């Protein structure tokens, strides 16, 4: 059951009204390159080094993993304290006692991987813009996905028009050191053009009870809104030159909905509730993904999908083509 969240909806309307004015200000401060420092894990008399989710490494240890001797890590933050925050080659984040890290100032260029850029929230909101720091886009099972990474959290979304409902695929990856709550009930979809209005979500159990075969059909796949694309490059060029590539956290079971089925094809065998996005307390290094359905307006052109998580509102800008209208 989706819960009411009236304060967020009120704030959402105000933010929508001010979207064009603040876009330049927000992204001007979020594209600074990250400083890259490599280090080698050294193990004096031990077989591996613990990496924890907390900087204090309090007991009992909250292990993210154990680093092998001689492995190379990227040092993200080091305040010359007891521990330093590092990222492994596999993308895991955690804290390691600084005494176990040997600087790699002489690392060959082939070993130096840039630290993935992150977006900077402004007033608790981070908006997707093509090519901006922390923003990525890619195709997943034929769908255009927008991705934002901020504060150690990556949120990825795609949006389709089934001809009956709008269907949003949402994925969240927690690379922070603490638990974050994912609440589908506060995720919102707003129509920006041609009119400004909220498009209510529909409960997954109601979708499951509906005698329609359009639950997973796709008549149109939303693409980035023109207002969120500052260059003249087409989507194909942007996808082939991704500035901030991320992993694909989308639900792989959604591949069956990449096109509209023929009239005789049916989808009753799909367990809607099993693929729906669920409320979850997401632990560090965990991912979740699922589907939501929203009211449809066949006139809608530009839309804003907002995912509040970890104290930040991740705002995604989408557009549908005119679709023959």
Do residues 77 and 178 share a domain? Answer: no
The predicted pLDDT at position 214 comes to 74
Dihedrals phi, psi of 257, to nearest 5 degrees: -115, 35
Let me know whether 307 and 287 are in one domain.
yes
Closest alpha carbon to 154 in 131, 180, 130: 180
CATH code of 93's domain? 2.30.30.40
Instruction: Please give the structure tokens belonging to residue 140.
Output: 């997943």
Higher local confidence (pLDDT), 119 or 105: 119
Q: Answer whether residue 324 is part of any domain.
A: no
**8 cis-preceded (ω within 30 degrees of 0):** no
- What does pTM read for this prediction? 0.65
Residues 229 and 299 in one domain: yes
291 and 235, same structural domain?
yes
Residue 183 near residue 279, CB atoms below 8 Å? yes
65, 86, 111: which is the final residue of a domain? Answer: 111
Tally of residues, the chain: 325
Q: Are residues 79 and 195 in the same domain?
A: no
| 1 domain residue, yes or no | no
The four Cα atoms 197, 203, 208, 210 give a dihedral, to 10 degrees, of -50
Structure tokens at 200: 């209510």
Weakest-pLDDT range from 153-167, 178-192, 220-234: 220-234
Confidence grade of residue 213 (pLDDT, cut at 50, 70, 90): low
Number of structural domains found in the chain: 2
251 has pLDDT over 60: yes
Boundary of a domain, candidates 96, 111, 126: 111
**Residue 229 gets which letter from DSSP?**
-
Specify whether 179 is located in the same domain as 254.
yes
- Same structural domain, 158 and 280: yes
């041609």: which residue's tokens?
194
Helix (H) or strand (E) holding 19: helix 19-28
Together in a domain, 312 and 216: yes
What does the pLDDT look like over 219-238, one tens digit per residue? 889 999 998 987 766 777 78
- Domain containing 201 equals 6-32+118-319
Residues 93 and 179 in one domain: no
Which residue, 170, 185, 269, 267, is CA-closest to 218?
267
DSSP state of 256: G
Specify whether 129 is located in the same domain as 186: yes
DSSP class of residue 213 equals S
Q: Do 73 and 129 fall within a single domain?
A: no
Would you tell me how many other CB atoms lie within 10 Å of the CB of residue 49? 21
Q: What share of the chain is helix, strand, coil (3-state, %, to 5)?
A: 15, 35, 45
**d(Cα 191, Cα 258) in Å, to the nearest integer?**
23
> pLDDT: is 21 or 236 the higher one?
236
**Residues 131 and 98 reside in one and the same domain:** no
């Amino acid at each position: 059951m989706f819960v009411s969240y009236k304060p967020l909806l009120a704030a959402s309307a105000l933010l929508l009204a001010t979207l064009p004015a603040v876009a330049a200000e927000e992204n001007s401060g979020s594209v600074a390159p990250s400083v890259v420092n490599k280090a080698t894990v050294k193990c004096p008399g031990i077989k591996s080094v613990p990496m924890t989710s907390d900087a204090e490494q309090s007991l009992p240890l909250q292990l993210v993993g154990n680093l092998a001797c001689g492995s190379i890590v990227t040092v993200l933050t080091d305040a010359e304290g007891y521990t330093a925050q590092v990222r492994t080659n596999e993308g895991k984040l955690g804290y390691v006692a600084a005494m176990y890290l040997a600087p790699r100032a002489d690392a060959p260029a082939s070993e130096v991987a840039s630290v993935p850029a992150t977006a900077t929230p402004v007033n608790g909101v981070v908006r997707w813009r093509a090519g901006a720091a922390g923003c990525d886009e890619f195709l997943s099972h034929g769908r255009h996905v927008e991705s934002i990474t901020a504060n150690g959290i990556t949120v990825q979304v795609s949006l389709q028009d089934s001809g009956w409902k709008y269907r949003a695929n949402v994925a969240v990856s927690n690379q922070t050191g603490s638990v974050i709550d994912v609440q589908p009930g506060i995720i919102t979809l707003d129509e920006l053009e041609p009119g400004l209005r909220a498009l209510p979500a529909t409960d997954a159990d109601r979708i499951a009870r509906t005698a329609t075969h359009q639950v997973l059909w796709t008549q149109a796949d939303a693409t980035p809104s023109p207002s969120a694309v500052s260059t003249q490059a087409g989507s194909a060029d942007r996808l082939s030159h991704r500035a901030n590539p991320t992993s694909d956290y989308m639900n792989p079971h959604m591949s069956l909905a990449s096109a509209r089925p023929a009239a005789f094809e049916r989808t009753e065998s799909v367990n809607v509730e099993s693929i729906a996005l669920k409320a979850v307390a997401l632990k560090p290094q965990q991912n979740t993904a699922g589907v939501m359905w929203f009211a449809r307006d066949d006139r809608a052109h530009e839309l804003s999908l907002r995912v509040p998580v970890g104290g930040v509102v991740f705002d995604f800008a989408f557009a549908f083509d005119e679709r023959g209208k």
